[in-house]
C-alpha cells in the first residue's frame, strides 16, 4: 500500500495496563477480561472558537494483548489517533501538530463506539514501545470546554491470539476538492499487496460528507449514508484477504451548499475522505491513499 502525506499517517495505539492500577482483572470464558481499563488519556481546556492538537506519550511496561478498544471522547474531541513505536520524546502531554509519526492501531471520530475485535485477533503492545496519542480538539462554540480524552481497553489471554491487528487510513488526500453549490464525489484508489486480511471499517469525513462507498475489486465493503456524529466501525460481512495488485477504492459523497470550494485538511472547516480499516498482519498496515 502506498504512503500518505506526513500530516496524516495511521491511527491509534494502545497502552499497557500498569500493575500499579491496583485491580485484578479476571478472564472470561472467551479469554477477554471482565472490565475495561484506562490505557492512555490527556486532560485539556479549550477557549471558545479555538482548536488545537495535544500529544500524549507513555511508555509501555508490559506485554499487552487488547481485545476491545473504546474511545473516550467528550464534547470537543474532533478525532483521536493512537500510535505506537520507538520513543521519540519524553512521556507526558505537550501541544503539537497534526503530524502523525508512528504506526497506528486505532482511530476514532465523533460517535465512534467501542470496537470488539473478532475471536483470535488482538492488538499487541510490547514493553519498551512508546504510545503516542494525538488529540485534535475543536471548540466552535461561545463557551469554554474542558475534558479528558483517551482510550479504554479490555485485554485477552495471549494464548488465544492467532493474529495481531492494526488499522490503516484508506481514501483520498492529494487533490481532494469538494465543489461549491451542491453535490459532488471524490474517489481514492490504492493497490494492495497479497496477504492482508481486512475485517472492519469506519468512515471519516467532516461536516459536508453525506455518503461513503468502499469496494475491494467487485466486493462491496461498505455502502452507507454518512453522519459526522456517527462514525462507527462495522464488521465486514466476511473478512477480505487481499491479492497482489488488488484495488481498494473509497468513494466519498458531499453536499456543499456554499459558493466556496473546500479542500483537504484537518480542521472541521476542511474535508477528508478516509475509510478507517482494521486488518492483519500489522507489518502490512501502512496508509493507502491517492
Same domain, yes or no: 150 and 28: yes
Same domain, yes or no: 28 and 69: yes
Same domain, yes or no: 122 and 192: no
Cβ within 8 Å of residue 53, ≥6 positions away: 95, 96, 97, 98, 134, 135, 136, 137
For residue 2, tell me if it sits in a domain. no
CATH of the domain at 73: 2.60.120.310
For residue 10, tell me if it sits in a domain. no
**Which pLDDT tens digit goes with each residue over 101-149?**
777 778 888 888 888 999 999 999 999 999 999 999 999 999 999 999 9
The pair phi, psi for residue 184, each rounded to 5°, is -160, 165
Between CA 125 and CA 78 the distance in angstroms is 25
Q: Which domain holds residue 131?
A: 19-166
Same domain, yes or no: 156 and 58: yes
Pairing of strands 64-72, 145-155: antiparallel
Same domain, yes or no: 65 and 151: yes
- pLDDT band at residue 168 using 50, 70 and 90 as cut-offs: confident
Between CA 269 and CA 63 the distance in angstroms is 40
Angle at 143 between CA 142 and CA 149, to 5 degrees: 120
- pLDDT band at residue 196 using 50, 70 and 90 as cut-offs: very high
Same domain, yes or no: 90 and 208: no
Q: What was the pLDDT predicted at 284? A: 58
Between CA 112 and CA 142 the distance in angstroms is 25
The Cβ of residue 45 has, within 10 Å, a number of other Cβ atoms equal to 11
Task: For the chain, give the mean pLDDT.
Answer: 85
CATH of the domain at 213: 2.60.120.230
Cβ within 8 Å of residue 29, ≥6 positions away: none
Between CA 260 and CA 248 the distance in angstroms is 30
Same domain, yes or no: 156 and 179: no
Same domain, yes or no: 118 and 39: yes
Residue 177 · residue 270 · CB < 8 Å: no
Last residue of a domain, one of 148, 166, 184: 166
Q: What was the pLDDT predicted at 283? A: 64
Same domain, yes or no: 83 and 221: no
Between CA 73 and CA 231 the distance in angstroms is 12
Same domain, yes or no: 177 and 210: yes
- pLDDT band at residue 285 using 50, 70 and 90 as cut-offs: low
Q: What was the pLDDT predicted at 101? A: 75
For residue 5, tell me if it sits in a domain. no
Between CA 251 and CA 1 the distance in angstroms is 17
For residue 67, tell me if it sits in a domain. yes
Last residue of a domain, one of 166, 190, 206: 166
Last residue of a domain, one of 132, 148, 166: 166
For residue 3, tell me if it sits in a domain. no
For residue 8, tell me if it sits in a domain. no
Same domain, yes or no: 36 and 147: yes
Same domain, yes or no: 151 and 193: no
Does pLDDT of 69 surpass 70? yes
Handedness of CA 153, 158, 161, 165 (dihedral sign): positive
Between CA 63 and CA 11 the distance in angstroms is 20
In the chain, the number of structural domains is: 2
Does pLDDT of 151 surpass 60? yes
- Top pLDDT among 284 and 214 is at 214
Give me the numbers of helices (H) and strands (E) for the chain, helices first please: 0, 22
For residue 4, tell me if it sits in a domain. no
CA 28 vs CA 31, 102, 151, 154, 210: distances in Å: 5, 32, 21, 11, 40
Q: What was the pLDDT predicted at 97? A: 84
Percent of the chain with pLDDT over 70: 86
For residue 190, tell me if it sits in a domain. yes
If you average pLDDT over residues 255-261, what whole number do you get? Answer: 97
Highest mean pLDDT among 102-106, 234-238, 257-261 belongs to: 257-261
The Cβ of residue 129 has, within 10 Å, a number of other Cβ atoms equal to 22
Q: What was the pLDDT predicted at 287? A: 57
Amino acid at each position: 500500500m502506498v504512503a500518505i502525506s506526513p500530516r496524516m499517517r495511521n491511527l491509534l495505539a494502545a497502552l499497557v495496563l500498569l500493575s500499579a492500577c491496583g485491580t485484578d482483572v479476571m478472564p472470561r470464558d472467551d479469554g477477554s477480561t471482565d472490565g475495561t481499563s484506562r490505557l492512555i488519556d490527556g486532560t485539556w481546556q479549550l477557549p471558545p472558537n479555538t482548536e488545537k492538537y495535544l500529544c500524549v506519550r507513555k511508555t509501555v511496561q508490559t506485554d499487552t494483548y487488547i481485545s476491545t478498544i473504546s474511545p473516550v471522547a467528550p464534547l470537543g474531541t474532533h478525532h483521536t489517533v493512537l500510535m505506537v513505536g520507538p520513543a521519540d520524546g519524553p512521556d507526558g502531554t505537550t501541544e503539537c501538530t497534526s503530524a502523525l509519526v508512528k504506526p497506528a492501531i486505532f482511530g476514532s471520530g465523533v460517535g465512534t463506539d467501542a470496537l470488539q475485535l473478532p475471536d483470535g485477533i488482538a492488538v499487541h503492545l510490547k514493553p519498551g514501545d512508546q504510545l503516542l496519542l494525538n488529540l485534535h480538539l475543536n471548540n466552535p462554540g461561545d463557551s469554554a470546554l474542558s475534558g479528558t480524552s483517551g482510550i479504554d481497553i479490555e485485554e485477552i489471554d495471549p494464548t488465544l491470539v492467532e493474529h495481531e491487528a492494526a488499522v490503516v487510513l484508506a481514501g483520498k488526500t492529494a487533490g481532494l476538492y469538494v465543489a461549491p453549490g451542491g453535490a459532488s464525489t471524490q474517489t481514492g484508489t490504492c493497490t494492495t499487496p497479497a496477504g492482508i486480511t481486512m475485517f472492519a471499517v469506519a468512515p471519516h469525513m467532516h461536516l459536508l460528507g453525506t455518503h461513503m462507498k468502499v469496494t475491494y475489486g467487485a466486493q462491496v465493503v461498505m455502502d452507507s449514508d454518512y453522519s459526522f456524529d456517527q462514525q462507527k466501525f462495522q464488521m465486514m460481512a466476511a473478512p477480505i484477504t487481499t491479492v497482489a495488485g488488488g484495488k481498494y477504492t473509497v468513494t466519498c459523497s458531499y453536499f456543499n451548499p456554499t459558493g466556496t470550494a473546500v479542500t483537504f485538511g484537518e480542521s472541521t472547516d476542511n474535508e477528508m475522505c478516509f475509510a478507517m480499516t482494521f486488518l492483519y498482519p500489522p507489518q502490512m498496515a501502512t496508509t493507502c491513499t491517492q
